[in-house]
Structure 1
Amino acid sequence: MAIQVGDVVPQFSAVDAQGNLFDSASVIGKKTVVLYFYPKDNTPGCTAQACSFRDQYEDFLDLGAEVIGISSDGLASHQKFTAQYQLPFLLLSDTDKKIRKLFGVPTAFFGLLPGRVTYVIDAKGVVQMVFNSMLAGQHIPKALEAIKKIVTQEM
């Protein structure tokens, strides 16, 4: 069953691009989080998406949100991708696809590609937006819009 708006995000852990063990409880449920699943490091759409999140990262931070990317790429790939594009946010390795399955992220193009889905999670750990689209450029404005709604509701 896929995680949907209104669901509480289940706890998970993964290795980040620095080789550290990341526990979702360290961030989720404490602050607003943009969690985005993407197909693969160093592919045109995924690179454009990561660089767009990088270029607008300060906007996310200014709104009190953290950005975390997840793909099934391994540690070495994430390290290279992060360094090459100077990504300021965490990338998590989901090599066994457990987190992808936990969230119910679908595959795209007849099951040939891992899907591209962005979740905006509020400070209580509740999903406020799910955006499923292979159009990489659409995810950043949708996430910012959802976070601005959260911030407005908290005021």
Structure 2
Amino acid sequence: MSIPEVGEPAPVFSLAGTVVRDGSRTDGVYDLSAQIGRTVVLAFYPGDATPVCSAQLCSYQEELDDFDELGAVVWGISPQALDSHESFARGSSLTFPLLSDPSGAVVRSYGVRAPGIGLRRSVFVIGPDGIVRWRHVGMVGLRFPKAQVIREQIEQLVG
């Protein structure tokens, strides 16, 4: 599938996910269509607890309060299972949901599948109307958009 363009509807999905807060793990189903009215940041990353993925998601964690103040939620998406996500969240002090896409269906629907590594490190900002408002799709797995860049995109939406 092709990568959704800015201005196009975001592919909807439901995925199992987990969040670790105050030492407790809570599993749930995360449905993008249920987020209409909120800005959603989807951060696709290749693997739990790898050096670059840890740097990326920890940088987003540092800005989480700012994202929340702007009415945005952050979801991390990778193919690993929920137990792996829990370990990663605990080890990196991540408090936003990590969603599991073991079949790769959501990765394919966003056009970010990459042979060999599974997926391209990518970030999509979905507006409250369900439309893709900004995207960054990495061609090389070592680069990711900084949290400040994403925050600036969200600020433009709520401006």
Q: State the TM-score, normalizing by the size of structure 1.
A: 0.89
Instruction: Say which of 34, 39, 49 aligns to 1:26.
Output: 34
| SS at structure 2 position matched to 1:5 | coil
TM-superposition CA deviations, 1:61-110 (whole Å, max 9, x none): 11111100100011110011112222111110000000000111142xxx
User: What RMSD, in angstroms, separates the aligned Cα atoms of the two structures?
Assistant: 1.4
Instruction: Point out where structure 1 has 5 or more consecutive residues left out of the alignment.
Output: none
- In structure 2, the partner of 1:36 is 43
The answer as to whether partners of 2:59 and 2:146 remain within 8 angstroms in 1 is no
The answer as to whether partners of 2:33 and 2:130 remain within 8 angstroms in 1 is no
Which runs of structure 2 are paired with 1:67-106 in the superposition (5 Å)? 67-106=74-113
- In structure 2, the partner of 1:112 is 116
Number of residues of Structure 1 aligned to a counterpart in Structure 2: 148
2:137 is equivalent to residue 129 of structure 1: no
| SS at structure 2 position matched to 1:4 | coil
Amino-acid identity (%)? 34
Instruction: Point out where structure 2 has 5 or more consecutive residues left out of the alignment.
Output: 19-25
The answer as to whether partners of 1:72 and 1:96 remain within 8 angstroms in 2 is yes
Q: State the TM-score, normalizing by the size of structure 2.
A: 0.87
Structure holding more helix per residue: 1
Residue identity matched to 1:86: S
Structure holding more strand per residue: 2
TM superposition shift of 1:128 = 0.6
